[in-house]
Amino acid sequence: MKNLYFILFLALLATTSCQQKPDSLKNEIIESKRLVNIGPCSCSVAGNFSGSDWLLKADKDSVVICNPGSINHVGEGHYSSYTALFQKHVLAQDYEKIFLCGTGEQVPSFAYGGYGLSYKNKKLVIDWQVGVDSFLVSKKQWSSEKGTVYIRNAYRQLIYAQDGKLYIGPKKVAYLAQKLTASSIRSVDASYALETAQKQSYYEIKLGRRLFALAMAGHKLSQARLLSLQDPDSSATDRMTTLENYKNLLRMKLGKK
């Protein structure tokens, strides 16, 4: 009889352990997201959320910025919320991430440069930015020769709400190109010829920037040169990232894949 009880006890243990496995797996999934309480929002978001990141929720057809704020804008006064601030000003950001309350989804970032946030027509507007070289016509030289790289809007993307749900709109080209000049074209032609003749093991990052400036302004030869430009040094992460983002932006402008 004791042996029978012992066998029943072992069977019970086995049954209990089998029932516990799905719960333990479920806990691992739950731990990949965590509950966050910010301002008017309480929801689960991805585990890499930090206190400096942005959290959004939907209220019918309006995007609500959850982050509480009491902001004093230099020279203009006080704003009670970020929504009120963004309706008047663009806030520059660098590494802060953007999350959607409800799904916990993170807005995919643009790999190069920061972004600006503003608020229009109940939507959050994201202007993804890129560093560019500008040709200084009066001095007949590129801005990077003076140590200056300008930040320009590359893509615009909208976060909008419908029926209490948030949606991420597509990126659209928002880059405003500088006008072409004979001097800027001659300058880039000379740089391109020099680097081609030298057969360097890597391209100078300034050449990529300048080809990009001319290509986005409609210069056909610079478009072809930029799209064919390669960097054999695959370990040069910064140059590779910069070059690919320039190419992708140009392809989108030209309607190419």
Is the pLDDT confidence value at 74 over 90?
A: no
What's the pLDDT at 77? 74
| Model pTM above 0.75 | yes
Hey, how many other C-beta atoms are within 10 angstroms of the C-beta on 199?
6
108-143: burial string, b at 16+ Cβ within 10 Å, e else: eebebbbbbbbbeeebbbbbbbbbbbbbeeeeeebb
Q: Which residue did the predictor score with more confidence, 203 or 207?
A: 207
Out of 26-35, 107-116, 186-195, 214-223, least confident range? 26-35
Phi then psi dihedrals of residue 108, to 5 deg: -60, 130
What is the share, in percent, of the chain residues with pLDDT greater than 70?
78
For residue range 218-237, list pLDDT tens digits in order. Answer: 999 999 999 998 765 555 55
Residue 38 confidence class, pLDDT cut points 50, 70, 90: confident
d(CA 112, CA 244): 10
Q: What integer is the mean pLDDT of 61-77? A: 81
What's the pLDDT at 57? 94
Q: How do the domains of the chain map onto residue ranges?
A: 33-130+150-173, 182-254
Helix/strand/coil percentages in the chain, nearest 5: 35, 30, 35
Q: Which residue did the predictor score with more confidence, 83 or 75?
A: 83
* Spatial contact of 217 and 180, defined as CB atoms under 8 Å apart: yes
d(CA 39, CA 239): 40
Length of the chain as a residue count? 257
For residue range 103-159, list pLDDT tens digits in order. Answer: 888 998 776 668 999 999 999 999 999 888 999 988 889 998 888 888 899 999 999
